[in-house]
Amino acid sequence: MEKETQEIFLSIPKVGSNEIDKINVGDSVKVNIDNKERLWVEVTEISNSSPKGRIFKGKIDVNPYILDNLNFGDSINFENGSIIDILKN
């Protein structure tokens, strides 16, 4: 008898625009990067220059496990749609 393969789909929670509007420099956000890894990032800059919403710049707060091109302390840019959790300071 063959074993059945079970598929598991992980849902990524979305953060609402009201919550994103309240993000400030110094807050930490969890960012979904290329649907490969979720990393905590400390927000260092916020810009309102994108038609899709705010653009954020932040410093990675953890050592990435999967993405070997990123390291703890690296700066990254990301948009609203990448944010899946917020930790206010």
By residue range, what is the domain housing residue 32? 17-87
Q: Which helix (H) or strand (E) holds 20?
A: helix 17-21
Give me the pLDDT at residue 17, please.
Answer: 82
Residue 45: inside a domain: yes
Higher-confidence position of 1 and 38: 38
Among residues 35, 22, 47, 43, the alpha carbon closest in space to that of 82 is found at 35
Q: What is the pLDDT of residues 36-83, one digit of tens each?
A: 999 999 999 999 866 667 899 999 999 999 999 999 999 999 998 899
Query: Structural domain tally of the chain?
Result: 1
Q: What count of residues does the chain have? A: 89
More confident residue, 40 or 7: 40
Please give the pLDDT value at position 80.
87
CA separation, residue 27 to residues 3, 12, 17, 32, 41 (Å): 46, 20, 16, 16, 8
The whole-model pTM stands at 0.80
Domain CATH number, residue 54: 2.30.30
Asked whether residue 3 is assigned to any structural domain, the reply reads: no
User: Distance (Å, rounded) from C-alpha 62 to C-alpha 49?
Assistant: 28
